[in-house]
Chains A and B, each alone.
Chain A
Amino acid sequence: MTKKAAVVIAVIGIAAVVYVHRRTVSHQASSSNPPAPAITLTDLNGNALSPSGYKGKVVLINFWAAWCTPCRAEIPQFMALQERYGSRGFQTVGISLDDPESTLRDFCREANVNYPIVTGNQRIAEGFGGVLGLPTTFLIGRDGLIHAKHEGETDFRKLEQQIQDLLRSSAQN
């Protein structure tokens, strides 16, 4: 075997090892992330939001309440993320726990929220493994798995980086 052939084989071999390792790591990362619950929600306008409608998208689910001061303070930032990434396959959904519908309608109208807001309940909260404090935000990848959970006031720099990473990845990862 010539020296050149040996180098080519070595490069191919190393590339193969790296490829297999990355597939393994990403598979392990995926298998440790639970699937998002397959729950159909209804927004304040009566529109059904079903999991099939968001297939292949990166979805942010924000559990909040109008009486929760830090929750309200975060909404403009979620709106900014929706504005920035909506055209790239990103969708925000706000799920209000513990608010009457009239309160939500007034709030959304005044704030001009640019993503669907739904009224949540215990079943929905438990579908996400329990929502035991507000705000709580989940990030679902194109693969339908929950990739991140933020409890308490959101670190938006970290969240945006996660959104960008998930938007770059395909549904097969």
Chain B
Amino acid sequence: MRFREDSPVTWLLTLVLVVALAVASRSQSSAELSPGSADLIRPEELVKALQSPTKPTILNVGPRMIYVQAHIPGAEFVGPANKPEGLEKLRARVGSLPRDSFVVIYCGCCPWEHCPNIRPAYRELKQMGFTRLKVLFIATSFGSDWVEKGYPTAKGEK
């Protein structure tokens, strides 16, 4: 069968292909870091990890404005990951880390499914080969899901 550019069949098949790719891409991004994902760590679990002798490297990949008001003690600011310069900062920070390091990234800028920072950061670190990467699950905001729960907090720049 030959496909002609001006053939309705060709156009229809092209349309079907585009729609299928769009649906597949959307399914992948909505499944990625879904609430049941093994790559997530819940706030109460991270609090326990902070008290253990082998603390993770904690990286804040969200907006600086929120980080300076409050952040997890020991967390380093390497954001925002939705901007090229933020991703570059993230790459530079983790570049020298062993790929089996326990690393936790978090944001908390806005409701989880809409966060523009956490998924780009996650993909970047996965591509770099980090095998013990965890993403802190913050459902609504850093304020309501961490600070207001009374978990440890620090202020200012680091």
Contacts and interface: CB of A to CB of B under 8 A. Distances in A.
Interface string B109-145: 1110010100000000000000000000000111110
Contacts of B63: 65, 97-98
Interface string B136-158: 00001111100100000000000
A122 B68 contact: yes
A122 B69 contact: yes
Given A122-B68, A126-B69, A132-B70, A68 B144 contact: no
Interface stretch (A1-9, A13-21, A133-141): A133-141
B69 A152 contact: no
B152 to A, nearest CB: 14
Interface residues of A, number: 22
Contacts of B114: 68-70
A132 B66 contact: yes
Interface of B: 63-66, 68-70, 82, 108-111, 114, 116, 140-144, 147
A134 B141 contact: yes
A133 B108 contact: yes
Given A133-B66, A133-B110, A152-B141, 9 more contacts: A67-B116, A68-B114, A69-B110, A97-B65, A98-B63, A121-B65, A130-B70, A133-B144, A136-B141
A133 B69 contact: no
Contacts of B66: 131-133
Contacts of A153: 111
Given A151-B140, A152-B141, A132 B110 contact: no
A108 interface: no
A136 B64 CA distance: 17
Contacts of B69: 122, 125-126, 130-132
A71 interface: yes
Nearest to B146: A132
A133 B148 CA distance: 12
Contacts of A121: 65
A135 B110 contact: yes
A121 B63 CA distance: 12
Contact of A152 (B64, B68, B70, B111): B111
A151 B144 contact: yes
A37 to B, nearest CB: 14
Contacts of A136: 141, 143
Interface in A14-51: none
A133 B65 contact: no
A71 B143 CA distance: 16
Nearest to A152: B140
A98 B64 CA distance: 8
A122 to B, nearest CB: 6
Q: Which 8 A-B pairs have the closest CB atoms?
A: A133-B141, A132-B143, A152-B140, A69-B114, A151-B144, A133-B143, A132-B142, A98-B63
B65 A70 contact: no
Interface in A92-133: 97-98, 121-122, 125-126, 130-133
